Amino acid sequence: MEQDTTTQVNEASLPAPTSDTKIRIVSFNICGIRNVLQYHPWSEKKEFLHMFETMEADIICFQETKIQGKDLTKDMVVVPGFDSYFNLPKSKKGYSGVAVYTRTSKCRAIKAEEGLTGVLEMPRKKFQEVTSYRDSPDAIGGYDRSLSMSEALLLDSEGRSLVLDFGAFVLINVYCPAVSSDERANFRERFQEVLFNRVQTLVEVHEREVVVLGDFNIIRAKIDTADPSEIMRANNLESFQSTFSRALLNSVLRPSTTGFLADLCRKFHPGRKGMYTCWNQKLNARPGNYGSRIDYICTSKLLEEKCSHADIWADLMGSDHCPIYADFLFNSTDALVVNCEPPLICANRIFQPARTLKSMFETQKKSVSLTSEQKSATSGEVRSIQVISGDAERETQNKRPRLQSPTKSGTASRKSSAGSGQLKLTSFVSKARKDDPEEPDDFQIPSYLLAEYSSKPTPDSSDKWKKLFSKPEAPVCSGHGEPCTQRITKKSGINEGRAFWICSRPVGPGYATSTRPKDEVNKDYRCSYFKWATSKE
């Protein structure tokens, strides 16, 4: 698809980096770009600029945007002082998706690509030939050309990665697949292989500095999860490291002899326990910090040395993940670029100032005079009518007065009745008695009919209605004697949709499950109480 490139960057307004430029990079799985601003503290202003300034972020990487391109709004794309980039799924609409925002006063991408393989068609200027990212003169490099075209297109079809070149370094924002089936397990492993192969090629062959970050969906070690023994038991693992994904991740991270990346958060907090970035919301696991660390910021050697600090923000809400960040210090010799035009895939071009939606659909006002017949019909009132493109008329001042039909008898009485509220059944029957001369004067509404339509329910019926719509009383759990919480079965099967009661305490290390030995149960967390709330139909 051709894109208009008439937007010009005011280079004079972009200051060059100082001798020491601090860059804070943030990664955040937001689980839906339309929902993240509903949480504290972002809900105070519900603006992405407020979020970025609160975190003091210069490069912000989102995962799981969960939105289609047609649903992107200006406030999502155009954040004052930032360029934005999106990669959204080509097949599964409103699924996965990643985004990157960059503060233009600190650094600006000189190249940008959707996907890891480089086979996707890149945006082009008018009259340019169609080409892929990897075959373009602006290719970033490091591609695995041994992939078949069909496999490469499949891996990049779900909008899971963005690659940006900032001159001083290459940034790769990824949302790695999770395991949901055997087929998805193969897709996940292949995606991870292609990801780390490209990073290794960029680092070792092209000698580039690389930051790869995002939601890896991999728990690196036992220290990175609250309950490693339960994970091993549930997945029938003899060793915690005996999975393809964990073994691959640890092989590319130092101190492995084959490692070429550093795990920054773990580097600055080597023995810290409970440093988790994701919690199961269905289990209410966050209050008890019963989670795992699956979000990472990893860098090549030189960037590791430039990193002054890295950590997680466990107290910042927005999704089932928390943000993580790393601070870097660059000097004037590090080739950070600010005075350049952003790449063609920069999403700000969608809402470029020269062609805003407001200017495209701006209305033209014209005064239209009514005819003499219309004047007399409307008591001589003349109004201005706004003419919109498409010849549709909208009234701008007063509502158009309706033409009144000749007054009929009974009109005034009907208006007075309408003004007193909704008519009762008795008023209709009463009117029928007056209008029908054959209706006997001693006609009465049956008592059962009056009782059925009475506006004031009897005490017995009121109690029945209250009981019908009141919430059922919660039972108490056997482990703590506290009121339970009700949940709904969402798993497909014979019990789908049935309500059940469970202990209301959050899960935590050692919470009671059917597979855990009794001597491992921690009574401070959720007990194993369970009771169906509804009968099985």
Q: Which residues are catalytic?
A: 175, 215
Q: What is the DSSP string of 38-86?
A: GSTTGGGT--HHHHHHHHT-SEEEEE-----GGG--HHHH--TTEEEEE
Distance CA 464, CA 55 (A): 53
- Written as one string, the DSSP assignment of 318-341 is SSSB--EEEEEEEETTS----SSP
| Residue pair 202/301 in contact by the 8 Å Cβ criterion | no
Question: Phi, psi at residue 36, to the nearest 5°?
Answer: -60, -35
Which residue, 195, 150, 198, is CA-closest to 176?
195
Distance CA 133, CA 123 (A): 9
Pairwise CA distance, residues 527 & 254, whole Å: 40
* Cα of 9 vs its chain's centroid, Å: 30
Asked whether the beta carbons of 526 and 282 are under 8 A apart, the reply is no
Establish how many alpha carbons lie within 13 A of residue 297's alpha carbon, considering only the half-sphere containing its beta carbon: 29
Place of tokens 């269905």: 282
CA within 13 Å, CB half, 414: 5
> What is the number of other CB atoms lying within 10 angstroms of the CB of residue 220?
20
3-state secondary structure 231-262: HHHHCCCCCCCCCHHHHHHHHHECCCCCCCEE
What would the DSSP string read from start to end of 168-191?
S-EEEEEEPPPPSSHHHHHHHHHH
Answer for the pair 300, 261: CB distance below 8 angstroms, yes or no: yes
Closest C-alpha to 525, from 535, 513, 510: 510
Rounded-to-integer distance, Cα 81 and Cα 49, Å: 9
In 319-431, beta strands by DSSP E = 324-331, 364-366, 385-388, 392-395
- C-alpha separations of 525 from 156, 362, 378, 531 in Å: 42, 59, 74, 18
Name the residue type at position 334.
D
Do 112 and 164 touch, CB atoms closer than 8 A?
Answer: yes
* Cβ partners under 8 Å of residue 353, min gap 6: 7
What is the C-alpha separation between 197 and 316, in angstroms, rounded?
A: 33
> What is the Rg, in whole angstroms, of the alpha carbon atoms belonging to the chain?
33
